[in-house]
Amino acid sequence: GAVVSQHPSRVICKSGTSVKIECRSLDFQATTMFWYRQFPKQSLMLMATSNEGSKATYEQGVEKDKFLINHASLTLSTLTVTSAHPEDSSFYICSARPMTSGSSYNEQFFGPGTRLTVL
């Protein structure tokens, strides 16, 4: 099946530092990857859509200068949380949509998530 990995799985950092999270599709290519954030007992909230070779599309209210996204290849997207603050503490999850899913059934496969704690 389609496997997506994320690294690191958990990170604790000091306020003001930057954290980079990697999302990789291991057995398929993905032109599009998505970055979500999930706060406790809330749903997944899409932050941005990452497209290989072009700029990411950010959802309303998400600061693009704070959450830097780089989709370097068809199997790798990174999210960098710059100058992290305690309110950025959350569960960050990426997903990838296989290139071959050209039909209307656009399944996404999720990475295991990264739990970020900013002290």
Partner 1 sequence: RKEVEQDPGPFNVPEGATVAFNCTYSNSASQSFFWYRQDCRKEPKLLMSVYSSGNEDGRFTAQLNRASQYISLLIRDSKLSDSATYLCAVNIRGGYQKVTFGTGTKLQVIP
Q: Give contact residues for partner 1 (rule: CB under 8 A).
A: 32, 34, 42-44, 46, 49, 51, 57, 91, 93, 97, 104-113, 115
Q: How far apart are CA 47 and CA 39, in angstroms?
A: 13
- CB nearer to partner 1: give 14 or 105: 105
Closer Cβ to partner 1, 10 or 85, answer by number? 10
Q: How far is 111 from 104, CA to CA, in rounded Å?
A: 22
- Minimum CB separation of residue 101 from partner 1 in Å reads 10
- Could you tell me which of 68, 69, 116 has the C-alpha nearest to residue 91? 116
CB of 63 to partner 1, least distance (A): 18
Nearest approach, Cβ of residue 92 and partner 1 (Å):
10
Contacts of 91 (CB under 8 A, 6+ apart): 37, 38, 39, 113, 114, 115, 116
CB nearer partner 1, residue 44 or residue 82: 44
